């Protein structure tokens, strides 16, 4: 799995961090998503898929390998 974020689309809702805190974080100054791991381990794949699904701005793309 490869995770791609589009910071320009992000609306800083924080849903991705709630779904997959080990993969996503938010910048302190404006809450925009920060990708911590673009190739997360298998045990986090479902959390990452959930984060992409709940993102209101559709700023997360998941490429399955």
**Tens-place pLDDT, residues 28-54:** 999 999 999 999 999 999 999 999 999
Q: What are phi and psi of 37, to 5 degrees?
A: -150, 110
Calpha distance 2→23 (Å, rounded): 11
Residue 65 has pLDDT above 90, yes or no: no
Q: What is the pLDDT of residue 62?
A: 98
Query: Can you list the alpha helix ranges (DSSP code H) found in 20-64?
Result: 45-54
CATH of 2-63, one of 1.20.210.10, 3.30.70.20, 3.30.1330.10, 2.40.50.140: 3.30.70.20
CA angle 19, 20, 22 (to 5 degrees): 155
Per-residue tokens: 47: 């959390």
Q: Which of 15, 20, 56 is nearest to 38 (CA)?
A: 20
Annotated domain spans of the chain: 2-63
């Amino acid at each position: 799995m490869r995770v791609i974020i589009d910071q320009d689309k992000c609306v800083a809702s924080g849903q991705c961090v709630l779904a997959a805190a080990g993969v996503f974080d938010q910048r302190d100054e404006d809450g925009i998503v920060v990708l911590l791991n673009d190739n997360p381990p298998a045990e986090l794949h479902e959390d990452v898929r959930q984060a992409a699904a709940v993102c209101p701005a559709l700023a997360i793309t998941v490429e399955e390998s």
